[in-house]
Structure 1
Amino acid sequence: MTVKYQPVNAQESPRFSGIKTFMRLPYEKTAEDVDFVVAGVPFDTGGTFAVGTRFGPEAVRSVSSLLKPYNPGLDVDIFAYCSGVDYGDLDVNPGYIEDSYDRIANQLKPILDQAIVPILIGGDHSVSLPHLRAMAKRYGKISLVHFDSHGDTWDTYFGKKFSHGTMFRRAVEEELVDPSASIQIGMRGGLYGPDDLRDAEGLGYQVIPADRLKKMSAEELGDAIRSRVGCQPVFVTFDVDFLDPSFAPGTGTPEIGGFSTYEAQQFVRELKGLNLKGFDIVEVLPDRDPTKITALAAAGIGYEFISLIAWNKREKEAEVRAVLNRRR
């Protein structure tokens, strides 16, 4: 196939040159001739402790220039199958969470109307709610695959319904997700009480805490996810505090006892074959990490997401060819 949009060739243009887009993709605000778009969502008014994740998209783009088009872990040459662009940042209204939610969801509509897969870089985790609102308008109730150290199913924070700790309760209440086909992965750390975990299960989510996940292989997790979501459309959300602070110190609410970037790669690769409709990566707080390893981790997870899109497209094309060959 002819791919219209792909990264700048690093053997023709040094990686340290040019405007910083994700993976050195063309900066194009287009929904034509693309399979995926990468977009920043620079909003952090939903944060309850440290803020500054509005600068996350910029940091992730900056370090992503080292990413290369062939993913050996999934054995896929991304741009042999996919066309993609850096769509730039979605417009938000700093300080006004509900207005920003409306803006974010509305800007995703023309992308989703074309069945393009968005890869969204936050921003605090509260932005997942407008992402899910847009997804549900396009696809109906969606399955959520949620990597995090926190369940984010509080009812309120200081009496308010919207924060980065409440959005996955709101998503059930607003009938955006199908909790019976959704799964939360990696929860750990101190809680206000046992109800913090029970609340998520009471809403219908399956929860795999970190202690249980530590005893599972990547393949076992993949089986659990596939069994849970089936063929339903899937949205994947990845909070960088799923990772241990030694791998991702630049985040607002870190929890010890987490996972390595290698483990995260293996877990995410197990999503291949799912009906993947969108992704987000959230909670990169660059001011807390001058080493930039948190942004590097987030860029790497975004790369795995793009690779999954290419892997799925390759397999689908192979299935179509096999059907046509049988008919001959």
Structure 2
Amino acid sequence: MKQVLITGASGLIGNRLTEMLIEKGYGVMHLTRTPKAGAAVKQYAWNVEKETIDSAALENAHAIVHLAGAGIAAHRWTPDYRRQIIESRTHSAALLIKALQNNPAHKVGVFVGASAIGYYGNRGNQLLTETDPPQQSDFLSETTQLWEAAYAPLTTQLNIRTAILRIGIVLAAQGGALPQTDLPLRMGAPGVYFGNGSQYYSWIHIDDLCRMFIAAIENPQIRGIYNAVAPQPVTNKEFVLTIAKSLGRWQIALPVPRLALHLAMGQMAAIVLHSARVSAQKITAAGFTFSYPQLPLALAQIYGKTGS
């Protein structure tokens, strides 16, 4: 049985990925700050700030999935929290790499690292591929550039096959953007869109995302950077109206002015105002098939209207 070691496993993606790996017959292990006795999945301790890690975690791992990182929208972007966002990603990757370097007998054959489409910055309606350059002077873009750079020694020094997934807006019933977006609609109010609503949202159903992580583990041809988004991005306004239709609500949405967002959120307004129309062509060409390529199909599954 192949063993997969996951960091950041308590989050939305890590929880679902753990379930799907176990369903496929994998053994799963978690790295966590506070291992719990009797947990359903074997847990090992690590502490990124103290640069400590239980070396036993690497002894049986055949693959590592690195999801750890402070939540982008968990707190206001104070200078201290901006530092936490970056260092929780770069320092944790460095700690894993150091542990692998110190354990030359490790069995890790593939490392799948998370990144984000924030790499591209605010790009209007330009269709973005993995070869497009990042946007400068943008915090989310700068963060993802540093994040991806932290993975470099895996290939240059350790010769481990490495895949980096630039993740879009993850759609799931359990958390992420969707429960926040559909809340007004569930309460009987109109939906809301941000600014003029023309900014592109590149989204992905959580099950497709987790299947993409599994594909990266299993397919030896998948290496390098891939956009982890569905093939059909939509504008923010389309996103909200499609959710309203899926919930059987009136397809009415009201704008939240850009100025109000900047006053309320500061620089964090970039999370909802930036436009990234991102291509899924590369991962599709690698043989990956989406179960939920269109937004209405993804929402129907999430809202339990397909019987699946």
- TM-score by length of structure 1 reads 0.31
Structure holding more strand per residue:
2
